[in-house]
Structure 1
Amino acid sequence: METHATPGNPVIRHKYTADPAAIVHDETVYLYTGHDETPEGEYNYQMHEWCCFSSDDMVNWKEHPTPLRAADFDWVEDGAWASQVIARNGRFYWYVAVAHKTIPGRAIGVAVADRPEGPFRDARGSALISNDMTAEYESDKDDIDPTVIIDKDGQAYLFWGNGQCYYAPLKENMIELDGPIRTIALPEFSEGAWIHERDGWYYLLYGYQFPEKVAYAMSRSIHGPWEFKGIMNELAGNCQTNSPAILDYKGASYFIYHNGGLPGGDSYRRSVCIDRLYFNEDGTIRRVVMTSEGTAA
């Protein structure tokens, strides 16, 4: 396990990372990312594995051995896209966007581990969500970017989508749906949904328009209605995509995202960044200020 002392943004500088998500376990932050491996001069996504880093100060990050690869799913062709990890009943569930081997289009799988750093293994042996389950929306990429929340009553929900935002309840085992797939109407929804709860408010962040800014909606119920609140993060430098995440840690809130900020970086060679996130008294989110100093400030 190698420690990378890299104050400022991007937080990981020895490789390209994208599509961040993070959890807190035993007072330690675990940061999960995709790994952009596209050679310079090529312009397509080449992503085959996910990465895990941990920190107890949000500045210095330890890299763990590769915890999960697309090849670890027998039914997956390739394509380790956006993901999120969540803990339940002493286990850790990793929801990932991949390319299905036999059903055309993107799909969502779930892996499980007994430790936050893994190693993870396929929890089902099949897709949790495949493109034939959302056939009414004519896209082969609409089943991507999973985000999961466990509500106050213990019911878990999966949100995802590209061009159309979907959500569905999950069973307590976290690897099966527990009800129908529903849709949410959000203005100019692109992709990259992130669901978060704070002080009785639900926040649904997402990539807005294209190239992507980050916008958000708020609701008092996980089922809506959702009120659009506007843009919270502007275009991220020379990167056309964005993938937001929120983390609460040691009394502070953080906004985690990616840009093309490393040398050679662009939309296919991205880098994870972290900045402080602030809320207004009415629960709305202040516009994020993207900084070079990041959490080191």
Structure 2
Amino acid sequence: MSRFASTLPIASRAIPNYTTSEAGNPFVDGWYADPDTEIYNGLYWVFPTSSYSYDKQLYLDAFSSPDLVHWTKYPNILTTADISWAVKAVWAPAPISRNGKYYLYFGANDIREDGNMEGGIGVAVSDKPEGPYVDAIGSPLIGEYHNGAQPIDQDVFIDDDGQAYIYYGGHSRANVAKLNEDMISIGTFDDGTQFKEITPENYVEGSQMIKRHGIYYFMWSEGTWTGPDYSVSYAMSDSPTGPFNRLAKILQQDSAVAKGSGHHGVIHIPDTDIWYIVYHRRPLSETDGDHRVLAYDRMYFNDDGTIAPVKMLVKDNFADGQMYSWKTYDGQWTVEDERLTVAETAEAKAMLDTDFADLVFEATASIDYGLGDAGLVFRATNLSTSCDEFQGYYAAITSSDRVVLEKINGGKRTTLGEVDNMIELKTEHLIRVTATGYDIKVFVDDLTYSKISVTERSYSHGATGVGARNTAAKFGHVSVQRP
């Protein structure tokens, strides 16, 4: 277990009241997709698909956290070696607990309607959330198509009256079925049927059910999982079996942050109205469809109970001691004492895979020693392994008590503005850059009055990051968002 893990009841710990993953998205390392969530033994749990080609999706990992910041990985909690009938495409684990047992529902083998291969939705069981899990029944729980729904992408929900339901479906059809008390067999509805179709408009896959204030929210993914249209929509009903009429899309790609956002789970902080949507997305520069990462953002409800569109925020306070989302160019970068730290070198950058045009970008920066500068890089393009190749802007504090804004074009730097500021070495300063159209402003510490204000037309959009020249520097509390 991680040294950060805790078995204290969640109610006795600080409430994780965040706007997003404040320690950065992705919040864990590795290629993962299709996350679902649970709260077990005072810990928040995330169970994802391992995101590789189908023939390599032979195992499931899990992650737990006491605070949604520090995560412990449990590898191989379930593998195809544990499931006699599963040979590939182990997808979308759905966790739930009942009667002292922990159940994990999963899809396997990507079966087709022609019935040429055994597969579908299985169920595994364990005495512990982290497993190991074993096949509960030795065959698929749902092993064939009903109402045209491919048996994949399941979610399991236990209602307040104790009745358990399984929601699932691919190939643009969705079903709901009852689960019996044993959680390993399908029940029957009052009309004698076992599978009810509940397909809403635009449904593709990725079923998810939550309940809030007596209202059932059925959620799903739309679009193509490898495409830019992958997204999450929802419906509301006063019944767990619908009808579910599509209301709106609430999560979709953001051209400045990430693409292909969808197939999600939801974390509800007990005894609060704090909700998070946990989902997968693809980094902007990533071209491999299987390369997806896990992220979460805050999910807010409107006064009428509808769900507000989710905003993908970019933050990193380095509280987890990691720098998963950063790519470095020159220099020796580490995370120390919740700060992104670079050793003194001629020039170094650490960049986020973003593409902001208009932005509000801020971070703390301090210069430990050296005769150079440290600051924020924005609207940067042509990034390569060398710091001399890129184009963009650089707003920095200097060891000579100055604030400077530069335009960088390959190896050429042009000073756009410079002003005295009485910078104290080894003291953390808050730098903020606002860029709206051609207007760029730089603030240091005082966020009311800008130190530098220019009109500059060279670069309209690009990546954001931090950099240093001829100094050892530290950065923290990074935040990038649209104005």
Place the TM-score, normalised by the shorter chain, in its bin: 0.7 to 0.9
SS in 2 for 1:53: strand
Q: State which of 219, 241, 244 in structure 1 corresponds to 2:264.
A: 244
Distance 2:128 2:254 in 1: 33
Between the aligned partners of 1:289 and 1:117, the Cα distance in structure 2 is 31
Whether contact under 8 Å (2:82, 2:134) holds in the other structure is: yes
Q: What does residue 218 of structure 1 align with? A: 236
The reply on whether 1:167 has 2:189 as its aligned counterpart is no
Unaligned residue ranges in structure 1 (runs of 5+): 39-43
Q: Which has the higher strand share?
A: 2
TM-aligned CA deviation for residue 126 of structure 1: 0.6
Could you say which residue in structure 2 is the equivalent of 1:41? none
Paired letter, 1:164: R
Question: What CA distance in whole angstroms lies between the structure 1 residues aligned with 2:302 and 2:316?
Answer: 21
Partner residue, 2:315: 293
Matches within 5 A, 1:199-214: 199-210=213-224, 211-214=229-232
Taking a change above 3 Å as real, the CA distance of residues 105 and 292 of structure 1, as seen in their structure-2 partners, is: farther
Rounded to whole Å, the distance in 2 between the matches of 1:6 and 1:52 is 21
Identity rate, percent = 32
Distance (whole Å) between structure 1 residues aligned to residue 93 and residue 284 of structure 2: 22
Deviations 1:49-101 (A, max 9, x none): 11111101101101123211133110112211112101111111100010179
1:9 equivalent among 25, 38, 42: 25
CA deviation profile, 1:229-250 (whole Å, cap 9, x unmatched): 1100113666546211111125
- 2:79 matches 1:59: no
Normalized against structure 2, the TM-score is what? 0.55
Given the alignment of the two structures, is residue 234 of structure 1 paired with residue 252 of structure 2, yes or no? yes
User: 1:129 — aligned with what?
Assistant: 142
Q: Distance in 2 between matches of 1:95 and 1:278?
A: 28
C-alpha contact 1:10 1:262 (8 A) present in aligned 2: no
1-structure distance, mates of 2:259, 2:124: 29
- Output the amino acid matched with 2:310: V
- The residue that corresponds to 2:79 in the other structure is 69
Superposed displacement of residue 227, structure 1:
2.9
Instruction: Determine helix, strand or coil for the equivalent of 1:71.
Output: helix
Secondary structure, aligned partner of 1:242: strand
For residue 157 of structure 1, the aligned residue among 162, 165, 181 is 165
Greater RCO structure (CA 8 Å; 6+ sep): 1
Q: Distance between the aligned counterparts of 1:25 and 1:97, measured in 2?
A: 22
CA RMSD between the two structures: 2.6
Q: Which residue is equivalent to 1:198?
A: 212
The 5 A counterparts of 1:71-90 are 71-90=81-100
State whether structure 2 residue 44 is matched by structure 1 residue 36.
no
**How far apart are residue 253 of structure 1 and its match?**
0.8
Return the alpha-carbon distance in structure 1 between the equivalents of residues 110 and 181 of structure 2. Answer: 25
Aligned to 2:289: 267
Name the CA distance, whole Å, in 1 between partners of 2:180 and 2:246. Answer: 29
DSSP-derived class of the 2:56 partner: coil
1:18 shift after superposition: 0.9
Report the Cα distance in structure 2 between the residues aligned to 1:233 and 1:262, rounded to whole angstroms.
Answer: 16
CA distance in 1, matches of 2:242, 2:78: 34
**Larger Rg: 1 or 2?**
2
Q: Which range is displaced more, 231-240 or 77-86?
A: 231-240
Q: CA deviation at 1:45?
A: 6.8
Distance, in Å, in 2 between the alignment partners of 1:150 and 1:184 is 18
2:125 paired residue number: 112
Offset at 1:6?
A: 9.3
Aligned-residue offset at 1:198 = 1.2
Q: Aligned with 2:81: secondary structure? A: helix
Amino acid at match of 2:157: I
* Change beyond 3 A, Cα 1:199–1:45: farther
Please give the alpha-carbon distance, in whole angstroms, between the structure 2 residues aligned to 1:12 and 1:266.
19
Alpha-carbon spacing, 1:57–1:230, altered in 2? closer, same or farther (3 Å): same
Q: TM-score, normalised by structure 1?
A: 0.88
Cα contact 1:201–1:218 (8 A) shared by 2: yes
